[in-house]
Homo-oligomer: A and B are copies of this chain.
Amino acid sequence: MPKKSVKASGQLTLRRVAIDTYRENVAYLHRECETYRAEGFQALSKIEISANGNTILAMLNVVDDAGLVAPGELGLSEQAFAQMKLEPGTAVSVAHAEPPASMEALRKKISGKRLDAKEYQGIARDIAAHRYSKMELAAFLVAADQTGLDRDEVLFLTQAMTDTGTRLNWHEPLVADKHCIGGIPGNRTSMLVVPIVAAHGMLIPKTSSRAITSPSGTADTMEVLAEVELSPDKLHHIIRHQRGCIGWGGTANLAPVDDVLISVERPLSLDSPGQMVASILSKKLSAGATHLLIDIPVGPSAKVRHMHEALALRKLFEFVGDRLGIHLEVVITDGRQPIGRGIGPVLEARDVMQVLDNHPDACDDLRQKALRLAGRVLEFDPDVRGGQGYAIARDILESGRALAKMNAIIDAQGRKARQPSLGPLSFAINAERDGTVIDIDNYHMARLARFAGAPMDKGAGVDLLKKLGDTAKKGEPLYRVHAEFQSDYDFALRMTKEHGSGYTLGAAEDLPKAYVEF
């Protein structure tokens, strides 16, 4: 079918409306406006606004107050106004928005069919141009999730998501990155791997995310120590000078399709292997990474619960990574319990700094995992002999060079004058019997830390006093919950009463073996 041509329409005068509608462009037309009546628009119609060759899409709101927008004017919310890049008073024209060109491909996916590379390119282009509504995005994701994407489709989607954004070029042959697929509370290895690797001189331009469903993201924890909301220019400057950075990635606008898809996947708890691989690899390719280490934790309450799933996921990463020209290695790690002791920004920052300080109380599991990951990243360096990475990483850590690099990065990002402190309201959960800790439920501990206020309240969270294999006497504390507000304290306490501690005590021989020695 030919596309319906856009009907000509009257000219309107552009006006800025001081309303912040975040990711959604909103346009305002007065109900008595000729154009509104002639075009047959209605509130929530999607319209296309054009002037001087620039076109944006916006959702229409209808105004009955000429003080806000008068007939003959077109109001735009702040973000939409900024996108138009025009002065108030400029003449603009409006028309019904075309439906996205890729709607046919979307319907094909909804009906359960396989799509080809060109169809994924079309879908990614429309998503990047904000032509998809949230509804269409959800339909695409649920359909892709339910019918499953075959590995060629994952490749096509990853390629399309990468092609629709900017791709940074660091003009260096080796640009390293590491990424964990998530699901393990307290797993703040990036805040150790980045300073170690950067201290070695390798470029590691890692941007981090904030927590969405977890009790803290790397960016949330780093924010206890330093500013993380950095402009792209500042981010670049720090990376060039420090070889690494631990900033929030939200301002960089890399792989924009991924950001859009995530905004739908998270609230719907969609987390299929295909989407995960496409999301992670498109982001890393866009950020200019040439070498990438992927961490897949496996455990009974991790995202990946069985070794065969971890292997299938590893092969999918390898298949797509190889075809897109990124040097990719996957490590499968022990995901039976949280890493470190603290869960929540302040507690995790404490754990990280204790490792960097070579403090005697530093969590050994966090330290070991970070050293092994850093070692594997260092071995991307052709001058590092295979198997020597770990020793180099340990040397960088023990010599204090990692700490010095971390301090330099903190100062470059902007050191917090006053660090937030631990939540003053706290209660302990005690062992109800003697025994050995044989299970700690990752999901339960993450939820508990969130209920206590993390990550919004930086000082809220859970401090684990016993880990797997530790013995506890009846009445001895297993962990302590910290909150900043009474309501959160009450709420977290109620959760432990209703749903148990998340810990299982038993006989030492019942402690399940780690799936892997990492």
A contact residues vs B (CB 8 Å cutoff):
1-2, 4-5, 7-8, 17-24, 26, 28, 31, 40, 42-44, 61-65, 67-68, 77-78, 106-107, 110, 112, 133-139, 141-143, 145-147, 264, 267-270, 447, 451, 456, 487, 491, 494-495, 498-499
Whole-angstrom distance between the Cβ of A445 and the nearest chain B Cβ:
13
Residues of B near A21 (CB, < 8 A) are 43-44, 61
A24 surroundings in chain B (CB, below 8 A):
44
> A22, B2: Cβ atoms under 8 Å?
no
Contact check: which of B22, B145, B491, B495 meets A44 at CB < 8 Å?
A: B22
Inside 8 A of A77's CB, which chain B residues have their CB?
61
Q: Which B residue sits closest to A133, measured CB to CB? A: B134
- Residue in contact with A18 in the complex, picked from B42, B65, B106, CB distance below 8 Å: B65
Known A19-B64, A64-B20: A495·B1 in contact at CB below 8 Å: yes
Q: How far is the CA of A264 from the CA of B1 in the complex (A)?
A: 23
**Count of chain copies:** 2
CB-CB under 8 A for A110 and B23, given A68-B18, A136-B138: no
Considering the complex of A and B, which 4 residue pairs feature the smallest CB-CB distances, nearest first? A22-B43, A18-B65, A20-B62, A138-B138
> Which residues of chain B come closer than 8 Å to A143, judged between CB atoms?
142, 146
**Is the beta-carbon distance between B64 and A5 smaller than 8 angstroms?**
no
Q: A138-B142, A139-B142, A499-B1 are in contact. Are A270 and B20 (CB under 8 A)?
A: no
Whether the pair A494, B2 counts as a contact (CB closer than 8 A) is yes
**What's the Cα separation between A390 and B168 when bound, in Å?**
75
Task: Determine which of B5, B135, B137, B145 lies in contact with A491 in the assembled complex, contact meaning CB atoms within 8 Å.
Answer: B5
Q: Would you mind naming 9 contact pairs between A and B with Cβ atoms under 8 Å apart?
A: A1-B495, A19-B61, A19-B63, A20-B43, A23-B44, A68-B68, A136-B138, A136-B268, A137-B138
Docked complex Cα distance between A145 and B143 (Å): 9
- With a cutoff of 8 Å between Cβ atoms, the chain B residues found around residue A62 in the complex are 19-20, 22
Q: Which of B2, B19, B23, B147 contacts A28 (CB 8 A)?
A: B19
Residue of B nearest to A264 (CB): B135
Closest residue to A79 on the B side, CB-wise? B43
In whole Å, how far is A343's beta carbon from the nearest beta carbon of chain B? 17
A20, B33: Cα distance in complex, Å: 14
**In the complex with contacts A61-B77, A146-B146, A268-B110 CB distance below 8 A:** yes
B268 touches A135 (CB 8 A): yes
State the Cβ distance, A36 to closest chain B Cβ, in Å.
11
What separation, in Å, do the CA atoms of A107 and B146 have in the docked complex?
Answer: 12
Given contacts A21-B43, A142-B142, 13 further A-B contacts (CB under 8 A): A1-B498, A2-B494, A7-B487, A67-B67, A110-B270, A112-B146, A134-B135, A135-B137, A136-B268, A138-B138, A138-B139, A139-B142, A143-B146
State the CA gap A494–B5 with chains docked (Å): 11
Partner of A139, one of B2, B268, B499: B268
Contacting residues, chain B, for A139 (C-beta < 8 A): 138-139, 141-142, 268, 270
Q: With the chains together, A145 CA to B8 CA distance in Å? A: 38
Interface centre among A106, A141, A142, A267 (most CB of B within 10 A): A142
Q: Give Cα distance in the complex from A498 to B31, angstroms.
A: 38
- State in angstroms the CA–CA spacing of A66 and B145 once bound together: 45
- Check if A20 sits within 8 Å of B61, measured CB to CB: yes
Cβ of A337 to closest chain B Cβ, rounded Å: 21
In the complex, the answer to whether A18 meets B63 with C-beta atoms within 8 Å is yes
Structural contact, A487 and B5, CB atoms closer than 8 A: yes
* Contacting pair A447 B110 (CB below 8 A): no
User: How distant is the Cα of A447 from the Cα of B18 in the complex, in angstroms?
Assistant: 41
Docked complex Cα distance between A18 and B69 (Å): 10
Cα distance A106–B42 when bound, in Å?
30
| A17 CA / B63 CA spacing, docked (Å) | 9
B146-A498 in contact (CB<8A): no
Distance between Cα atoms of A21 and B77 in the complex (Å):
14
Chain B residues, CB < 8 A from A456:
40
The answer to whether B491 and A269 have CB atoms under 8 Å apart is no
Known contacts being A135-B134, A137-B135, A270-B110, is A451 close to B43, with CB within 8 Å? no
